[in-house]
Amino acid sequence: MSFEQIIKIPQDRIGVIIGKGGRVKEEIEQKCNVIVEIDGENGDALVSSGPSPLTKAEPFKAIEIILAISKGFSPERAYRLLGEDLLQLVDIRDYAGKSANSMQRIKGRIIGKAGKSRKTIEELTGAYVSVYGHTVGLIGSFQEIRMGIEAISMLSKGSSHKSVYNMLQGARRKAKFDKMKLWEENSQ
C-alpha cells in the first residue's frame, strides 16, 4: 500500500524547500522515509511513501514540514515537527476581511518594529511564529500554540501590545506554578 499527496507551494518558497544542492529535500526524505518530487514550474510537491513499507514512512510529518516551510518557517524550525510539536495556521483574513490595508496593519502589529513583537511572542510562549502572506503559522506544543493563538487574536482585534504581553506573562507564571505544584505533589 502506497501513499501519495500533492502540496501546493508558493513560487518564492520552492528554493527553500529544495535547499542548496537539494540538501533540505534530501533531509526531509531521509528523516521521514519518503520520496519528495518538486515541480518548480507550477509549485507542486508530491510526497509519496516510496518503496519502503508504509509503516516505516512518515508521510504526514513530511507534509507538515513542507507546509511549514512553504508558510515562511526555516527548515531548521520546521524540523521541530518531527517530535511531538504541532503546526497551526491562523488566517488573518478572519480579522481583516477583504481590506488589504487592514491585512497590512494586522501583520505589522504581529511582527512589530524590527520583528520585536513576533520575537516577544516566541519568547513568552515557546512557540515559533511565522507571518507569511495572509497566514500566521505557529509551531510548538499544544499549550504553546494555544497561548500564541490567543496573543495573535488579541493583537488582530486591536488590543495593546502591553496587555498581550501581560496576558502571556501571566499564563507563563501560572504554567510554571502548576508545574511546580505537580512536582511537589509527586515528590511526596
Residue with more model confidence, 185 or 90 = 90
How do residues 107-119 score in pLDDT, each as one tens digit? 999 999 999 999 9
Confidence at residue 54, expressed as pLDDT on a 0 to 100 scale:
52
Helix residue ranges per DSSP H, 33-135: 59-70, 75-78, 93-96, 100-111, 116-125
Does residue 13 have a pLDDT over 80? Answer: yes
Average pLDDT over residues 32-56: 82
Does residue 1 have a pLDDT over 70? Answer: no
Thinking of the domain 86-182, which architecture would CATH place it in?
Answer: 2-Layer Sandwich (3.30)
Does residue 30 have a pLDDT over 80? Answer: yes
Indicate if 86-182 has the same CATH topology as 4-82: yes
Domain assignments of the chain as residue spans, ordered by start: 4-82, 86-182
> What's the CA gap between 50 and 128, in Å, rounded?
31
**Fold of the domain spanning 4-82:** Ribosomal Protein S8; Chain: A, domain 1 (3.30.1370)
